[in-house]
Amino acid sequence: MATFNVNDIRNDFPILSEKAYGKPLVYFDNAATSQKPQVVIDALVNYYSHSNANIHRGVHFLSQRASEAFDNVREKVRAFINASSEKEIIFVKGTTEAINLVAATYGRKNIGKGDEILISAMEHHSNIVPWQLLCEEKGAVLKVIPMNDKGELVLDKLNTLLSDRTKLVSLVHVSNSLGTINPVKEIIAQAHKKGIPVLIDGAQSTAHAPIDVQDLDADFFAFSGHKILGPTGVGCLYGKLQLLEEMPPYQGGGEMISSVTFEKTTYNEVPYKFEAGTPNIADVIALGTAIDYWNNLDRLGAAAWEEELLEYATSKISAIPGVRIIGTAEKKAGVLSFVIEGVNAMDAGMYLDTKGVAVRTGQHCTEPVMLRFGVPGTIRASFMFYNTMEEIDSLVENLGKAIQLLQPQTAL
């Protein structure tokens, strides 16, 4: 049985030994993108060194080698999220494209004037704007599940919000700016009682806990490769087969085509119907390697370590005078978002940077969340299983110095 040892794990990630301004790099911006293990980096180099060719059409050796490597990943992703068929896995650029794909296909086909789409108050912009665009086009209405002061969804009125006009629920699994883990399984069950399909934005959740789309009974599930140790520019949309089959194509050209004449075009079967043009071959293959890495990892051990990191950081940072944590839900993943009285978040972030500590500051692409909490932005430290307690100590120590430097001196 695999066991989890953070020091061993860190050796897999070459970037974690980097220095910033001569100081050891502390990387706490994992919610934006995770770092990559050497095997994933090697997979990219290997592909371009030994297998680079366009896939599925070439009759030659390299094309067949590339096609096979590419096709294998679909099965790996299927198993990774426990989809029932490879056909349910569509390769896209990332979560944002996956959501846009559903809005442009399922949405355009099934949502009309006066219909409603239900999202939540803690969505990031990628799970707001595609629906707003659709609502504008179709005359539909965007409704929002509110949240409380802890950053938890208020679900008392969910039954009312799920009206006869609701045609889709699109909901974030784990909030990128608050860390809240939403009870998506229960929400999906409620929506399904009324026959409403649900899209789950798994951008933040996929790295932190095993995903089982069949257990969740999600109709769509979106995630990005780069947040789960894979490369940027690749992600997946899972959709229930029947829904995907009924949906019109997304973009035209390349592999999505079965036959083209000037009179009529027929489309390829799913998932190819939604994968126009040459796909992101190298990155898909490296995503497969990232999934292999996850499969070899003690995932429960890694998740438990992440919980410890969050707990330790929360207790240390909340003890600093003037700190207010934004997002104090009972169930949270490794995100710690906070503001410091009298200190501009970006100024503090830049100070931490001079000490080699990388955090994110600002709105985190969730402007409505910042408005809800009445803050212009937060400092966000987001953790991954390769982070350490010593790194958190470094964050806390340097935050203290930042406050000393930046906080206006109170008159004696």
Among residues 32, 276, 365, 406, the one annotated as catalytic is 365
Contact flag: residue 354 with other proteins (CB under 8 A): yes
Listed in sequence order, the residues at least 6 apart from 92 whose beta carbon sits closer than 8 Å to its beta carbon are 98, 101, 222, 234, 235, 236, 237, 274
Candidates 44-52, 101-109, 354-362, 386-394; binding stretch for other proteins (CB under 8 A) = 354-362
Question: Which residue number, 26 or 66, has a Cβ lying nearer to other proteins?
Answer: 26
CB of 224 to other proteins, least distance (A): 21
Nearer to other proteins, 212 or 347 (CB): 347
Three-state secondary-structure class, residue 320: coil
Q: Distance between CA 100 and CA 130 in Å, rounded? A: 6
Q: What is the torsion angle, in degrees rounded to the nearest 10, for the CA atoms of residue 185, residue 191, residue 195 and residue 199?
A: -70
Q: Is 236 considered catalytic here?
A: no
Contact letters for other proteins, residues 373-392 (x by CB under 8 A):
---x----------------
Among 330, 374, 333, 278, CA closest to 52: 278
Q: Least separation, in Å, of the C-beta of 339 and other proteins?
A: 12
Residue range at the interface with other proteins (CB under 8 A); choices 112-120, 198-206, 270-278, 349-357: 349-357
Q: Can you tell me the distance from the alpha carbon of 99 to that of 377, in angstroms, rounded to the nearest whole number? A: 25
From residue 100, alpha-carbon distances to 155, 158, 339, 357, 364 in Å are: 26, 24, 32, 34, 19
Query: Minimum distance from CB of 133 to other proteins (Å)?
Result: 24
Neighbours of 384 (CB within 10 A): 25
19-20 and 23-24 beta bridge pairing: antiparallel
Span near other proteins by CB under 8 A; candidates 66-74, 126-134, 219-227, 341-349? 341-349
Q: Does 406 bind other proteins (CB under 8 A)?
A: yes
- Rounded Cα gap, residues 121 and 100, in angstroms: 19
Q: Which of 331, 350, 397, 400 binds other proteins (CB under 8 A)?
A: 350
Q: Which residues are catalytic?
A: 365
Site residues for other proteins per CB under 8 A: 21-22, 344, 346-347, 350-351, 354-355, 362, 376, 405-406
